[in-house]
Amino acid sequence: MRQIVLDTETTGLNPRSGDRIIEIGCVEMVNRRLTGNNLHYYVNPERDSEEGALAVHGLTTEFLSDKPKFAAIASELRDYLQGAEVIIHNAPFDIGFLEAEFARLQVPTFREHVCGVIDTLVEAKTLYPGKRNSLDALCDRYGVSNAHRTLHGALLDAELLAEVYLAMTRGQNTLTIDLHGDEQGDGAATQMPVLPLGDILVVRASDSERAAHEMVLNALDKEVRGACVWRLPSAER
């Protein structure tokens, strides 16, 4: 599966009021492996950034003045994204800006170019309800170093998000192993052989262990003034 982790920086918060994209960063993964086939643009937005946005990304109008306009990079970006599953943190924000840019060029929408979108902010809120789920908070939670992140940058943030996403979804790995130098011509991973189960060893509790267990249950019964949950039939627990 081909996935693209994507992030943007913008002149402000609202594309409907004329704010534009000034930076796009994309990180490619194929079968959950970083390929190094990344894409990065600075974009001339043809307007100034709002003061608050400039404080976040630090990309001045002067710096962006000689960069290509979105129309000049749109075709390459659309080809790069074509058919991929896209991973974005707070996807409605970035997609809203991309859709506005594509609409200005009267080309098919962003969603028509990709096969689906994963919003890691939504995923994180499901996993950690009521907690901070910003990219910085997720980096701290999953041990992803962001010490070099003093300002927001689209490519840097996409690289961090890729690491966070792989950590968040680590349990979704398939039971395959990539044996370097021993891959089939199509690049498919070699599946691990299914081995027969060994004999199951059952170690039963001794009389003294059962007596100690009963003492613990009696103490729990006393605490709850009745029968503790461990004495109930399994269907009622």
The C-alpha atoms of residue 147 and residue 32 are separated, in whole angstroms, by 24
Both structure tokens of 176: 């395959």
Residue of 57, 113, 148, 152 marked active site: 152
| Cβ count near 141 (within 10 Å) | 17
Q: Residue 131 gets which letter from DSSP?
A: S
Exposure class string for 166-176: b at 16+ Cβ within 10 A, else e: bebeeeeeeee
The C-alpha atoms of residue 136 and residue 141 are separated, in whole angstroms, by 9
Q: At CA 160, angle to CA 158 and CA 161, rounded to 5?
A: 60
Annotated active-site residue 152? The verdict is yes
Residue 193, CB-side half-sphere exposure with 13 Å CA sphere: 3
Judge whether 108 and 83 are in contact, CB under 8 Å: no
Judge whether 148 and 163 are in contact, CB under 8 Å: no
Which residues does the annotation mark as catalytic? 152
